[in-house]
Structure 1
């Protein structure tokens, strides 16, 4: 997808997956378009313009995370989602906030690497086929026996041996040409070959992941890898599987990882997006007795990253000045004003997301490209059953979801997953044994399965 989409086009793309929330979509679309505008400015002015970070306020399940995720996919930008509650203040056990930038760079490296590997795919596949041919028709190893130096003057058989070796080489070459032709025609896809590959065993330094010491683990791993030999292992694969594995292996050799790292760092700096969820959970609020280790301390640590600082990663230093930060929180127990003032000022765009109505629930069930009813219909079609939902049944499902959200905790669109699972529980269980081709879900069927539970507040609290 091109980076020069207009705000209107961005909103239209988001509408395919997310229902409602017009204001939030407009805010992120403008933020994305401003990036494109900034890239067309002179270098002097470009450095002065920083992204306007966004704070999304709204209950769970209304589309906060999905908007940011779909937006990043839309433009192929590096994107990471982190929970503010997982971080602790620097100096305590746990992940420090700088790890979010390191995660972003890792994502950027993966994106750039995939693009580069796609560019050399044809060449890599050709080299992989050559390796498969070599595996299927190996050359005979020459026997180098120690001979008396005087034999070169007296041994009359030397010329005959050379001729025999040449004939054998010609035979191997002809066999390889024949096998290469059969490979190209797809006649050997199920043949088995033994492939030798680098052993990708988890490193002993992986135990440091998530403990706030990832960077130290990476540095130690890089240092030890220079001294420790690479292990390899043999795998028995079909030709089709071997081609995939060897193409990947050859593509890795063809790309320049230094160039990938450099491009990835630039991509992360200029178009990276970090989504910080549960930002409301690190506000102090009125609870002064709780520890600051995962609250105000984390806010103070996040502040310099959002303001713009340089974070050291294994791929080089990364400047966070132009990374777009999108923070989100339900703010049930706290208010945005409970965040420290300096952090509030770094999120100038505030967007309040709407609570979902009955009409929104109906649209969520039917309209998006990945609508829930389409998913459940597709799952049951694998059993040879075509499930149809009447309009009255869809409306009733939406009403039940809305009512349960009103009476118990409001979990937004996620309530539909619970309700549909309960509704189709018996049908999913009996599907392999049913001989009917088409089943219609009616309003009466929905009432029969859900009404008694929805009306009983105690039951709905636990079941729905």
Structure 2
């Protein structure tokens, strides 16, 4: 946590720059929003409860980096993050997802994060306990005077003077072999918990929400007797099975739930995409789908304003959850949202359309650049893939050209172009392109392989 607390807004922008090209204004605003959360937690007076996050509305066409900015921000903050599409929601009384489900998804993510941290903290202790369990299976301990154990792999010429002394020496010998992996393939019999039933069928009365129903199912499942069965598995597999069970014993799940609720309340980020799809279009007066769109907005409003939501882990208050909404707003405008919802997103950021130069930088600079991803795929087959500068410029030019001529889908167009360029090579490896080969992508190769894609761009808009 100390590392996160020390991050300044400029350092947060530097971290975002490693994965996202351009969009400096959006990066600055999300960096300030994240730093403000850290600042709020540092406030000692009662006013801390009254400091609410400045939710952000991102405006920009598809593929310019809206989702990636929000997702990377959550990773930097080590915060629970969930993404939802506003168009999947319908107002209460219509068939569709309940708006509160996004808060429940956030809490699930939070529980997962906290549980991972707790599991990691006890993993060393759990591994020691598992080691002892496996040794007990291999070398059963001496049960008392007069009881003689025959060790599984004791040397015949080892004549012990004392059973317990021999047992201890043999255990230590096996412990060493176990740690060196020499016994990983050996089969042992272990008791494994049977998988719980898929679900307890219940007929609801129409008044229970998803969280209450899930909580009741969990309670009934918890009351059912736990069954175990014997399985013969390798020691390597037994170690994994037993480790999970030991870790679960050492972690207090009530503590996990309590911490997860706090983490979601204070650090949670909910990204609401396609917010423009639930905006009533300008000039429309009540009726038809616009009524339902406005209904979704009114259902979203209390969640964004701050309300208590019931989840199967407990009640979570959304007052300090950071909401980032995004939309292209090609047809509707931000002002078409209901005034109350507009007021809950005070920070508005317009993301710029990507240029040809941006495409070129996207192919080169990010840590997860497409060129690096394809190089990693070819490296897995011991084939070297390289791009010269002219080839990258040509790929960027063609992708930008197709976006202009057909439909602008932003940086996602690069995936289409790159797969068209390299799919033949991926098919030929390793059958006809042998390991230790080298593939050099040049401007001429790009032009030759993508010429049909460019020529047929007028037809591509009709291809489903």
TM-score by length of 1: 0.89
Distance 1:406 1:285 in 2: 26
- 1:217 CA drift (Å): 3.0
Q: Is the 8 A contact 1:306 1:320 kept in 2?
A: yes
Higher mean C-alpha deviation, range 423-432 or range 390-399: 423-432
Distance in 2, matches of 1:202 and 1:20, equals: 50
The change in CA–CA distance for 1:324 and 1:183 in structure 2 (over 3 A counts) is same
Partner of 1:236: 232
Deviates most, 93-102 or 67-76:
93-102
Q: Pick from 397, 400, 413: which aligns with 1:399?
A: 397
Match of 1:95 among 94, 97, 100: 97
Contact (CA 8 Å) 2:406, 2:458: kept in 1 or not? no
Aligned residue number for residue 179 of structure 1: 174
Question: Which deviations, in whole Å up to 9, do the C-alpha atoms of 1:341-375 show, x marking residues without a partner?
Answer: 10000000000000000000000011111110111
Distance 1:163 1:14, change over 3 A: closer
Give, in whole Å, the separation in 1 of the partners of 2:16 and 2:224: 49
1:138, distance to aligned residue in structure 2 (A): 4.1
The structure that has the greater radius of gyration is 1
User: For 2:289, what is the secondary structure of its paired residue?
Assistant: coil
| Partners of 1:294 and 1:16 in 2: CA distance | 41
- The aligned residue for residue 219 of structure 2 is 223
Asked if structure 2 preserves the Cα contact closer than 8 Å seen for 1:88 and 1:293, the reply is no
Q: CA deviation at 1:340?
A: 0.7
* 1:245, distance to aligned residue in structure 2 (A): 2.5
Q: CA deviation at 1:459?
A: 3.3
- Per-residue CA distance 1:423-449 (angstroms, 9 max, x = gap): 112222223212482222121211111
The alpha-carbon deviation at position 273 of structure 1 amounts to: 0.7
Q: C-alpha separation between the residues in 1 aligned to 2:90 and 2:107?
A: 21
- 8 Å contact 1:404–1:460 — kept in the other structure? no
| Distance verdict in 2 for CA 1:381–1:165, change over 3 Å | closer
- Seen in structure 2, the aligned counterparts of structure 1 residues 443 and 167 have a Cα distance that, compared at 3 Å, is closer
| 293 and 313 in structure 1: CA distance in 2 versus 1, 3 angstrom threshold | farther
For 2:191, the equivalent position in structure 1 comes to: 196
Instruction: Go from structure 1 to structure 2 and tell me whether the alpha carbon gap of 1:17 and 1:233 turns closer, same or farther (over 3 Å shift).
Output: farther
Cα distance in 1, alignment partners of residues 211 and 316 from structure 2: 14
CA deviation map 1:173-232 (0-9, x unaligned): 554444334323432122122222223346225999xx9953133122133124311233
Q: CA distance change for structure 1 residues 167 and 407 in 2, over 3 Å: closer, same or farther? A: closer
TM, length-normalised to structure 2: 0.89
Cα distance in 2 between the residues matched to 1:429 and 1:226 = 50
Residue in 1 aligned with 2:147?
A: 165
Deviation at 1:237, TM superposition (A): 2.7
SS at match of 1:311: strand
Write the distance in 1 (CA, Å) between the matches of 2:175 and 2:453.
Answer: 66
Q: Which residue number corresponds to residue 58 of structure 1?
A: 60
| Paired residues of 1:205 and 1:218 also in contact (CA < 8 A) | no
The answer to whether the 8 Å contact 2:62/2:410 transfers is: yes
**What is aligned with 2:382?**
384
CA–CA distance in structure 2, aligned partners of residues 75 and 182 of structure 1:
42
CA contact (8 A) 2:100 2:303 kept: yes
What pairs up with 1:262-411 in 2 under 5 angstroms? 262-286=258-282, 289-291=287-289, 295-411=293-409
| Contact 2:281/2:290 (8 A) holds in 1 | no
Looking at structure 2, the residues matched to 20 and 72 of structure 1 have their Cα atoms a distance apart, in angstroms, of 19
Evaluate the alpha carbon distance shift between residue 418 and residue 294 of structure 1 in structure 2; reply closer, same or farther with a 3 A threshold: farther
Partner of 2:39: 37
Structure 2 unaligned residues grouped into runs of 5+: 151-162
Aligned to 1:145: none
Give the superposition deviation at 1:276. 0.7
8 Å CA contact retained: 2:212, 2:312: no
Which runs of structure 2 are paired with 1:196-215 in the superposition (5 Å)?
196-201=191-196, 203-204=198-199, 213-215=209-211
CA distance in 2, matches of 1:366, 1:299: 40
SS at 2:6 equivalent: coil
Separation (CA, whole Å) in 1 of partners of 2:360 and 2:437: 26
Give the CA deviation at 1:92.
Answer: 3.0
Q: Root-mean-square deviation (CA), in Å?
A: 2.5
Q: Contact between 1:85 and 1:294, CA under 8 Å: does it hold in 2?
A: no
Residues 1:188 and 1:253: Cα distance change in structure 2 (over 3 Å): same
Residues 92, 293 of structure 1: 8 Å contact kept: no
Q: CA deviation at 1:256?
A: 1.1
Greater Cα offset, 441-450 or 285-294: 285-294
The range that moved more, 192-201 or 38-47, is 192-201
Q: Distance in 1 between matches of 2:77 and 2:288?
A: 41
SS across alignment from 1:285: coil
Q: Which moved more, 1:350-359 or 1:105-114?
A: 105-114
